[in-house]
Amino acid sequence: MAKKLRRHVIAMTATAGSGHPGGSLSAADIITALYFKVLRHDPENPQWPERDRFILSKGHAAPILYAALAEAGYFPVAELATLRKLDSRLQGHTDKKFTPGVEMSAGSLGMGLSFAIGVALAARLDSKTYRTYVLLSDGECEEGQTWEAALSAAHFKLDNLTAIVDYNGMQLSGWVRDIMNLEPFTRKWQAFGWHSLDIDGHDFKQILSACQGAEKIKGKPTVIVARTIKGRGVSFMENNVVFHGKAPTWEEAERALKELE
Amino acid sequence: MAEASTRETYGKTLVELGRQNKDIVVLDADLSPSTMTSIFAREFPDRFFNCGLTEQNMVGVAAGLAASGKTVFVSTFVVFVVCRCFDQLRLCISQPELNVKIVATHGGITVGEDGSSHHAIEDLALTCALPSFTVVVPADAIETAEAVKAAASNYGPFYIRLSRPKTPIVYPEGYHFTLGKAVTVRQGKDATVIAIGIMVAKALEAADVLAREGIDCRVINMPTLKPLDEAAIVKAASETGAIVVAEEHLAQGGLGSRVAQVVTRRKPVPMEFVNLGDRYAVSGKAEELLQRYGLTAGDIAESVKSVVKRK
Ligand SMILES: Cc1ncc(C[n+]2csc(CCOP(=O)(O)OP(=O)(O)O)c2C)c(N)n1
C-alpha cells in the first residue's frame, strides 16, 4: 500500500505541475500505517464522533494524505488527478472546508500540535476514547509555537495524544542541522515532559509497535521520532532538496513510477 | 508586454546595496531560494542569516540588529512575516521605529496553486495600520529596484510587497521612483484608475479597451500606500470626476480604503473598487484566479464604465 501511495504522489504532483513530493514520500510509510492499521475511522462517515483524529501539521505533504484518504475510500481515487486545479476539493495545502477526512487546514508550519492539543482536551472533556495523532516535520520543530504546544501537552498530561515527527533531516533550503540544528532532539522532548521513542520511520513494524506502545503510556503525551529519508522510494529524489517543492517532469515521473513498481 | 521577476530584481539589488554599505544585513527564514535573498547570501555569507523556520524570532533578531546600527532586510513569504509576526512587527519594529525593511514575496492570490494558506490578501491592511511604517507595492521589476534602494537610504520601518510570478514591465529603463509620490502612467480626463502592483499593467490594458469605446481614462500608479500622495488623488478627482481603485487585496484596509478616506474628505466624487471583496481564494493558476475573483483588465473597464455613469 505504501508503494501505491507513493505512486499516487508522483502522478499527482506531475499532473499538477507543482507540489511537494519530497516530504510526501518521507511520510508515506507513517501515513500508510496510520490509515490502514492504526486509526479507528470510517471513510463512509468522516464526521463519526468516535473516530481517531489525524492532523497533518506539515500541510505541504497534502498529496500523501490525499492518496491515503482516497485509497481508504473517503473520495474516488480518480479525483487525485485534480490536485491543485481550480475548483478541486484537493487544495495545494490541506483545507478543512473542502476535503472529506481532512481534520484541519494547514500550510503555515508549526500550528498543528496546538490544534491537536485542543482536540485531545475535547476528548477528555467529553469522556471520549478516541486518540489524537499529529504528524510534524522536523523543520516545523524550529517554530516557537511547536515548543509552546510541547509544553502545554505535557502540562495538561495528554496521554491521549501521539505526535509523530517525520525526521527526514531536510527542509526547504538544505539540511536541518546546517540551518537550525535541533539536536539533541529526542532529549528535548523528554525534557519537556514527553514520553519519547526513536524509530526507523520506514519500518512498518516499528511504526505500528510505537503507536501501540504509546496507548499504554499514562499521564504524559508520546512523541515518536521517526527517522526517515526525504524523497524515499525514488532514487533521484532521495535526500535531494530540489524535490522538496518541485514536481517531477513527465520524464522524471515515468522513471520514478518504474522504480516504484 | 515584456515581463521580469520582481524577486530576482530584489536579490540583485540587495547585492548592489551590500557592496555600497557594509551595514546591510539580510535575514531569511528557509525561503532564500524563493525570495532570492540567496543571491545576497552567496556574495555576503557573513551578513546573511538563515533563521530557519523561526519567523517570529527572526523579526525580533532584526530589531536587535537594527538597534545596534544595522540596516536590516527581512525576507520570507508575505503571510509568514506579516500575518504570523504581526505583534513582533508592532512592538519590536513599528513602536521603536527601527531601521528594518520587510521585503516579502508571494503577495496576493497570484501565488496560485499553493492555495489560501499562502495567498497574502490582508497584508496591506495590517502593515498600513502600523504607525511609522512606509508601505510600498512596486508595479514592476524596475520600480522594485528603485523601491528597495529607497528603503535602504531612508531610515525607518518599511514593508515592500513583491509577487511570485514575473510581472509585466510598465516603466521604461531609467525610471526614477520618488518615495510617497504617485505616477501618472497614462493621461485621461473622463475617469482615473488608481492601481498598485500587478493591477497597474491591467489598468493600462483596460484604458486601451476603454479608449476604443470613447472613454478617456487616466491611470495612476500609487506605489507608496503609506504615506499616501493625497495631492495626486485630489487632482485626479478634480480633473476626471470619478475614481476606480484596483488592488490584489481584500476590500477592507488596503489602497481602496485609503484612497476613499482622502476622496470623501477632500474632493468627493463617485468611486468604484476592484479587489477580492471579503473572501479567501482557492488553489488554481494565477491567471485563472484573477479571472475567478474579478481582478482582470475587463473587470477594471466595467468598473470605469459604471463609475462614469454616476458622474
Ligand atoms: C511558517 C512557514 N514558514 C515557511 C513555510 C514555507 N515552507 C514550506 S515547507 C518548508 C520547509 C520544509 O521542511 P520541513 O518542514 O522539514 O518539511 P519536510 O522536509 O518534511 O517536507 C518551508 C520553509 C511554511 N509553509 N510555513
- Judge whether B133 lies within some domain: yes
Whole-angstrom distance, CA of residue B117 vs CA of residue B281? 10
Any B CB within 8 A of A171 CB: yes
Expressed in angstroms and rounded, the spacing between residue B13 Cα and the centre of ligand 1 is 26
Q: By C-alpha distance, which of B171, B156, B219 is closest to B191? A: B219
Q: Is A67 exposed, middle or buried (0-12, 13-18, 19+ CB in 10 A)?
A: buried
Q: Is residue B173 part of a domain?
A: no
A93 at B interface, C-beta within 8 A: yes
Co-location of B140 and B50 in the same domain: yes
Whole-number pLDDT of residue A78:
98
A108 part of contact set with chain B, CB < 8 Å: yes
Instruction: Check whether residue B79 and residue B194 sit in a common domain.
Output: no
**Which residue in the set A95, A109, A179 is minimally distant from B116, CB to CB?**
A95
Q: pLDDT tier at B173 (50, 70, 90 boundaries)?
A: confident
Closest approach of chain B CAs to the CA of A16, in angstroms? 9
User: Per-residue pLDDT averaged across B227-232, rounded?
Assistant: 98
Residue B130 corresponds to which cell in the numbers above? 502600523
The pLDDT, as a whole number, for residue B58 is 98
Final residue before a domain boundary, out of B168, B197, B212? B168
Average pLDDT over every residue of B66-92: 98
Across the range B229-234, mean pLDDT stands at 98
**By the 8 A CB rule, do B25 and B161 touch?**
no
The least confident of A46-50, B63-67, B172-176 is B172-176
The mean pLDDT of B250-257, rounded to a whole number, is: 98
Domain span at A228: 2-259
User: Parallel, antiparallel, or unpaired: how do β-strands B71-75 and B100-104 relate?
Assistant: parallel
Tell me: do B140 and B17 sit in the same domain. Answer: yes
Pair B134, B193 in one domain: no
Whether residues A107 and B114 touch (CB distance < 8 A) is answered with yes
Residue B280, classified by CB atoms within 10 Å of its CB into exposed (0-12), middle (13-18) or buried (19+), is middle
CA of A139 to the centre of ligand 1 (A): 6
Centre of ligand 1 from the C-alpha of residue A243, in Å: 13
> Residue B78: its pLDDT value, please?
98
Q: How far apart are CA A208 and CA B65, in angstroms?
A: 48
SS (H, E, C) chain A: CHHHHHHHHHHHHHHHCCCCHHHHHHCHHHHHHHHHHHCCCCCCCCCCCCCCEEEECCHHHHHHHHHHHHHHCCCCHHHHHHCCCCCCCCCCCCCCCCCCCCCCCCCCCCCHHHHHHHHHHHHHHCCCCCCEEEEEECHHHHCHHHHHHHHHHHHCCCCCEEEEEEECCECCCCEHHHHCCCCCHHHHHHHCCCEEEEEECCCHHHHHHHHHHHHHCCCCCEEEEEECCCCCCCCCCCCCHHHCCCCCCHHHHHHHHHHCC
Report d(CA B205, CA B148) in Å as an integer.
27
Residues B245 and B163 in one domain: no
Same domain, yes or no, for B57 and B154?
yes
Same domain, B112 and B146: yes
Q: Is residue B178 part of a domain?
A: no
Q: What is the pLDDT of residue A36?
A: 98
Specify if B174 maps to a domain.
no
Q: Output the nine-digit C-alpha cell for B160.
A: 515592500
* Confidence category of residue B172, pLDDT binned at 50, 70, 90: confident
Q: Which three cell numbers stand for residue A2?
A: 505504501
Domain count, chain A: 1
Identify the band that residue B43 occupies on the pLDDT scale cut at 50, 70 and 90: very high
DSSP string of chain B? --EE-HHHHHHHHHHHHHHH-TTEEEEESS-HHHHSTHHHHHH-GGGEEE--S-HHHHHHHHHHHHHTT-EEEEESBHIIIIITTHHHIIIIIITTT--EEEEEB--BSTTGGG-TTT-B-SHHHHHHTSTT-EEE--SSHHHHHHHHHHHHHS-S-EEEE--SS-EE--S-TT----TT--EEEE--SSEEEEE-TTHHHHHHHHHHHHHHTT--EEEEE--EEES--HHHHHHHHHHHS-EEEE-SS-SSSSHHHHHHHHHHHH----EEEES--S----SS-HHHHHHHTT-SHHHHHHHHHHHHHT-
CATH of the domain at B223: 3.40.50.920
Residue B193 and residue B86 share a domain? no
**Which one-letter amino acid corresponds to residue A172?**
L
User: What pLDDT tens digit does each residue of chain A (261 aa) get?
Assistant: 999 999 999 999 999 999 999 999 999 999 999 999 999 999 999 999 999 999 999 999 999 999 999 999 999 999 999 999 999 999 999 999 999 999 999 999 999 999 999 999 999 999 999 999 999 999 999 999 999 999 999 999 999 999 999 999 999 999 999 999 999 999 999 999 999 999 999 999 999 999 999 999 999 999 999 999 999 999 999 999 999 999 999 999 999 999 999
- Tell me: do B91 and B144 sit in the same domain: yes
For residue B230, being part of any structural domain is answered with yes
Average pLDDT over residues B95-107: 98
Distance of CA A207 to the CA centre of its chain: 13
Average pLDDT over residues B8-31: 98
Same domain for B100 and B201, yes or no, is no
- Domain end, chosen from B107, B133, B168, is at B168
A85-90 long-range contacts (CB < 8 A, ≥24 apart) are A85/A16, A85/B283, A85/B284, A86/B282, A86/B283, A86/B284, A86/B285, A86/B288, A86/B289, A86/B292, A87/B282, A87/B284, A88/B283, A90/A62, A90/A66
Residue A223: the pLDDT is: 98
Q: How many domains are contained in chain B?
A: 2
User: Which stretch of B136-145, B172-181, B278-287 has the lowest confidence by average pLDDT?
Assistant: B172-181
- Please report the pLDDT score of residue A228 as a whole number: 98
Q: B176 in a domain, yes or no? A: no
Task: Tell me the ipTM for this assembly.
Answer: 0.95
Show the domain range for B214. Answer: 183-309
Whether residues B202 and B131 share a domain: the answer is no
Asked whether the predicted pLDDT for residue B1 surpasses 90, the reply is no
CA distances from A3 to A199, B94, B95 (A): 20, 51, 54
Contact: B284, A85; criterion CB under 8 Å: yes
Chain B residues within 8 angstroms (CB to CB) of chain A: 30-34, 38, 50-57, 79-80, 83-84, 112-118, 282-285, 288-289, 292
Note whether B20 and B66 are same-domain residues.
yes
Q: Which of B137, B168, B199 is the last residue before a domain boundary?
A: B168
Residue entry with cell 497533518: A56
pLDDT of residue B5: 96
Looking up residue B63, the CATH number of its domain turns out to be 3.40.50.970
**B177 in any annotated domain:** no
Q: Which of B26, B30, B32, B288 should we substitute to test contact with A (largest number of A Cβ atoms within 10 Å)?
A: B30
Q: What is the CATH number of the domain that holds A117?
A: 3.40.50.970
